[in-house]
Every structure is written in structure tokens, then in C-alpha cells.
Amino acid sequence: MRVVRADSRVRFTAEDIAFIMRVFGRDAQDYRFLSLLLADDESRDLILDDSVLFDALTETNHCLSISSHLYFYVLVRNVFIKAGIDDRSVADYVASLLVEFTLTENLPLQIPPDQTPIEYLFEMLAASAQADDRTRFLIQAHIGNHTLFLSGVFFERIEHRAQTRGFPGLSYYEGIGAGNFRAARDHRLARKHELVDVYDRLSGEFTTARKALNDLSDRMLHFNEPAWLSGFLSQSSRLFN
């Protein structure tokens, strides 16, 4: 288990910078000026917020040679602003979360020392209740991330099973996710990793963040559904019933 950080904006690659240069620059003088702006944190953030960059990412007809960090940050930042979450650190964190979960092996919880993957939510909650202080924080943060990702990206699957099979609906995941972000917020390790404000915002506006990701998923995100998702949704009903 590792802590997801709000660090997508500091993990851009040379290809990312080159892409931004191509979007905004016309000649060598533009490139020199842009390089100065991108080196300044405040100026760089304004460039990343520009709708021209968002359009360049979403309207292209070919594969882009950019990092997942740039791609997800610009997309998440755009939908979060529209949803009223105008906090770059929160968009940065959720972008990093999406990067992590593009690797489906990061979705199950792996608890040391044996690292046996835990896929079901009721097992994660049980493990949290029995864990030591540090591990409990990591599990709580993972549950918050996990529920936000699933309810944000695979919301239609959750809604369908809730309507047709009587399984837990989105409000169940919202409650579990918000509660665990709130618990993680109050831990000393949240202060160490400078995540108190991020966890606080996500715990208070989990539903808003989830709906913004729903919109993004509908229009632009294409994650492969994990093979175990059906079982996960079924097993989650143990806590619901």
C-alpha cells in the first residue's frame, strides 16, 4: 500500500511540455516565453486551466504522446471547476488516483506482510478495524479512493445492479467513501503528506466529485471493467443487508 499524493502537476514529462508548447506556441519567440511561464507555478496553473489546452486534448483524432498525469489532470480540473470544486490540489489528487487505478492491480487492497489482495469492501472495512494505527490510515485512504473511483467511473454498473438486483446503490458508496476520507483526514499521516485539506474537501463533497467523474466517464474515460467487479458489487451487499 502506498499513499496517493496530489502530485500530478510535478510529474509532467518532456513530452507533456512539448505538447503544451505546440498547442500555444507559433514560433521560437513564443516557445521561449512559454518556457518561462511553465517554470513558474502560478503561470503554469493558469496555462493548464486554459480551455484551449482542454480542447486540444479532447478534440484530437490521433493518439497523444503525453503522460497520464497531464491528461487526467486537465480533464479532472475542467469538470471539477464546472462542478464547483475550484481547488487545484483536489483535482491534482484525483488525477493521481486515476493514474494509479489505470493499473487494475492497484484496485485490490494489499496489506503487509503477506500482501494478499483484498477485493471486497466488507473485507477492507474489517481489516481497517483490526489494523495498527498506520495501516488503518492507509486502508481508510484506500477505501475512500476505491469507492470514489468505482462510483465515479463505473456508476452505471452500480446503478443497474441496484435497480435490478437490489444491491447497494451509489449513496452506499458515497457514505462509505466520505466517511473514510473523513477518518483519514484526522490522522497525523494526513498532515505529514499534506493531504488534510484534500481529504476534507473530498469527504464533504464526495457526491459532487463523484458526479463530476460520472460526467467525465460518460464523455471521455474508457477504463476496462475489472473482471472481479461483479463479484465485488455482489459481496458488498453483505454490509447493506
* Tens digit of each residue's pLDDT (9 = 90 or more) over 58-83: 887 677 789 999 999 999 999 999 99
User: Which of these, 86, 77, 78, lies nearest to 205 by C-alpha position?
Assistant: 86
The 10 Å Cβ neighbour count of residue 54 is 16
pLDDT at 106: 60
Strand partners, 117: 110
Cα dihedral: 100, 104, 106, 111 (round 10): 170
- Cα radius of gyration rounded to whole Å, the chain: 19
| Per-residue pLDDT, 147 | 93
How far CA 222 is from CA of 114, 180, 201, in Å, comes to 32, 27, 26
Please give the Cα distance from 127 to 122 (Å, whole number): 9
Report which secondary-structure segment, H or E, holds 109. Answer: strand 109-110
Is-contact 176 238, C-beta < 8 A? Answer: no
Spacing of C-alpha 43 from chain mean position: 24
Q: Domain boundaries in the chain? A: 1-102, 105-241
**Contact (CB, 8 A) for 137 and 187:** yes
Asked if residues 184 and 137 have their Cβ atoms less than 8 Å apart, the reply is yes
| Cα(7)–Cα(88) distance, integer angstroms | 11
Phi, psi (degrees; rounded to nearest 5) at 89: -65, -35
Cell for 129?
Answer: 478495524
- Residue 117 CA neighbour count, 13 Å, CB half: 8
Supply the pLDDT for residue 185. Answer: 97
* Regions of the chain short of the pLDDT cut 50: 227-241
- Looking at residue 52, what is its pLDDT? 94
Q: Please state the pTM of the whole predicted model.
A: 0.87
* pLDDT at site 240: 37
* Residue 103, number of CB atoms within 10 A of its CB: 8
Which DSSP category does 238 fall into? H
Q: CA 147, CA 180: separation in Å to the nearest integer?
A: 10
